[in-house]
Amino acid sequence: MDDPRNLIDEYKGMENEQVFAELAKKRSPLEVAIENVEHDFNMGSIVRTANSFNVSKVHIIGKKKYNRRGAMCTDKYLEITHHQTIKDFIKTQNDRELVAIENNVPDSKPLGEKTFNKNTTLIFGSENNGITPELLKEAHDVRFIESFGSTRSVNVGVAAGIAMYEYTRQVIIKAN
């Protein structure tokens, strides 16, 4: 079958709606929130990575536009919700642990020491200013990704991938 989409063989030849439905049967309980990420490519990368880990939902807080090319059409296979305000986003987060990934907060702790709850939402902020103080106040936990070189942080798209993998390793892989 000649299906040029970036899909694993199991989904080749299916309509987009069918792929979405099949993935929905085995979604991870993880959700991801992106607040005011300035670079469209980074947002697209986070969406693509969220699809790779089959997260339940991606929340975009603030800016709606993102580089769909960077997402490689993976936005068609997962639920993406836009929230104009932090307050609107918080209303959707009942019974979920909000874990902010942020390196500029004095009381943040290393990601490697985190034990994830099943119902977690990972929060990522803008490349230049991080997560806003308003949203950080809503977080139950703030973590940073340990660095071992001269750079104080990794790109937000890379950080999202690292954090999603660590959640998946603990909650999904170890459970199976």
Range of the domain at 97: 18-173
How high is the pLDDT of residue 106?
A: 87
Does 50 fall in a domain?
A: yes
Q: Among positive and negative, which fits the CA dihedral 94, 170, 107, 44?
A: negative
Greater model confidence, 132 or 6: 132
Q: What is the DSSP letter of 169?
A: I
For the segment 100-127, the average pLDDT, to the nearest whole number, is 94
Give percent of the chain with pLDDT exceeding 70.
93
Confidence band for 52, pLDDT divided at 50, 70 and 90: very high
Mean pLDDT, the chain, as a whole number? 90
Confidence band for 79, pLDDT divided at 50, 70 and 90: very high
Does 10 fall in a domain?
A: no
Does 13 fall in a domain?
A: no
Count of beta carbons in the 10 Å neighbourhood of residue 55:
23
For residue 172, pLDDT beyond 80:
yes
Cα–Cα separations (whole angstroms), residue 19 to 52, 71, 72: 13, 16, 15
Nearest to 47 by CA among 19, 24, 77: 77
Give percent of the chain with pLDDT exceeding 90.
69
- The enclosing domain of 167 has a CATH number of 3.40.1280.10
Please state the domain count of the chain: 1
Q: State pLDDT tens for residues 7-39.
A: 889 999 999 999 999 999 999 999 999 998 877
Q: State pLDDT tens for residues 86-101.
A: 999 999 999 999 999 9
Contact (CB, 8 A) for 59 and 92:
yes
Confidence band for 55, pLDDT divided at 50, 70 and 90: very high
Give the predicted TM-score (pTM) of the model.
Answer: 0.93
Cα–Cα separations (whole angstroms), residue 47 to 6, 53, 106: 14, 10, 28
How high is the pLDDT of residue 143?
A: 97
Contact (CB, 8 A) for 105 and 142:
yes
Does 52 fall in a domain?
A: yes
